[in-house]
Structure 1
Amino acid sequence: MRPRDIGLAVAVMAIWGFNFVMIDVGLDHFPPLLFNALRFTLAAFPAVLFAGRPQVPWRWIVAVGLILGVSKFSLLFAGMAAGMPAGLSSLVLQSQAVFTMVFAVLLLRERPRPVQIAGLLVAVAGVGLVATRMGAAFGAFLLIVGAAACWGLSNIATRKASPPDTLRFMIWVSAVASIPLIGLTLLVDGASADLAALRSFDLPALGSLVYVALISTLAGFAVWGRLMQTYGASTVAPFSMLVPFFGLASAAVFLGERIHAVDIAGGVLVIGGILLGLVKNPVPRLVRVEA
Structure 2
Amino acid sequence: MSPKDLLLALVVVVAWGVNFVVIKVGLHGIPPMLLGALRFTLVAIPAAFFVKRPKLPWRWLIAYGATISLGQFAFLFSAMYVGMPAGLASLVLQAQAFFTLMFAALFLHERFRLPNLVGLLIAAAGLAVIGLQGGHAMTLAGFVLTLCAACSWALGNIVTKKVGKVDLLGLVVWGNMIPPLPFFALSYALEGPRRMAAALSNISATSIFAIVYLAFIATLIGYSLWSRLLSRYPASQVAPFSLLVPIVGLASASLFLDERLSAVQVAGALLVMAGLAVNVFGGWVVERLSPRTLRSCDSSRAEDSPRNNA
Does the CA contact (< 8 Å) of 1:248 and 1:259 recur in 2?
no
Amino acid of the residue matched to residue 195 of structure 2? Answer: A
Does the CA contact (< 8 Å) of 1:163 and 1:169 recur in 2?
no
2:192 maps to 190
CA distance in 2, matches of 1:224, 1:217: 10
1:174 and 2:176 equivalent?
Answer: yes
Moved more, 204-213 or 110-119: 110-119
2:305 maps to none
1:163, CA displacement in angstroms? 5.4
1:14 maps to 14
* Gaps in structure 2 of 5+ consecutive residues: 300-310
1:284 and 2:291 equivalent?
Answer: yes
Aligned ranges for residues 52-91 of structure 1 at < 5 Å? Answer: 52-91=52-91
Does the CA contact (< 8 Å) of 1:72 and 1:146 recur in 2?
yes
CA distance in 1, matches of 2:170, 2:65: 13
1:226 maps to 228
Moved more, 103-112 or 162-171: 162-171
Q: Secondary structure at the residue paired with 1:42?
A: helix
1:32 maps to 32
* Gaps in structure 1 of 5+ consecutive residues: none
CA distance in 2, matches of 1:164, 1:110: 21
Amino acid of the residue matched to residue 203 of structure 2? Answer: F
Does the CA contact (< 8 Å) of 1:87 and 1:252 recur in 2?
yes
1:155 maps to 157
2:244 maps to 242
CA distance in 1, matches of 2:232, 2:264: 38
Q: Secondary structure at the residue paired with 1:175?
A: coil
Q: Secondary structure at the residue paired with 2:30?
A: coil
Does the CA contact (< 8 Å) of 1:125 and 1:269 recur in 2?
yes
CA distance in 2, matches of 1:164, 1:3: 27
Q: CA separation of 1:163/1:27 partners in 2, compared to 1, >3 Å: closer, same or farther? A: farther
Q: Secondary structure at the residue paired with 1:284?
A: helix
1:260 and 2:246 equivalent?
Answer: no
1:179, CA displacement in angstroms? 1.8
Identity, % of aligned positions: 44
1:140 and 2:142 equivalent?
Answer: yes
Aligned residues: 290
1:56, CA displacement in angstroms? 2.7
1:164, CA displacement in angstroms? 3.5
What are the Cα deviations for residues 120-161 of structure 1, in whole angstroms up to 9, with x where unaligned? 000100111111211271111100111111111111111222
Amino acid of the residue matched to residue 40 of structure 2? Answer: F
CA distance in 1, matches of 2:157, 2:64: 8
Moved more, 136-145 or 69-78: 136-145
Q: CA separation of 1:18/1:163 partners in 2, compared to 1, >3 Å: closer, same or farther? A: farther
1:263, CA displacement in angstroms? 2.8
CA distance in 1, matches of 2:168, 2:113: 29
Q: Secondary structure at the residue paired with 2:203?
A: coil
What are the Cα deviations for residues 14-52 of structure 1, in whole angstroms up to 9, with x where unaligned? 110100010001100111100011111111012212322
What are the Cα deviations for residues 146-203 of structure 1, in whole angstroms up to 9, with x where unaligned? 1111111111111222453322221111111112111221122111110110011121
1:10, CA displacement in angstroms? 1.6
CA distance in 2, matches of 1:104, 1:184: 29
Higher Rg of the two aligned structures:
2
- What is the aligned counterpart of 2:211 among 205, 209, 212? 209
- The normalised TM-score by structure 2 is 0.89
CA distance in 1, matches of 2:56, 2:122: 36
Moved more, 184-193 or 86-95: 184-193
What are the Cα deviations for residues 93-115 of structure 1, in whole angstroms up to 9, with x where unaligned? 11111101000100110011122
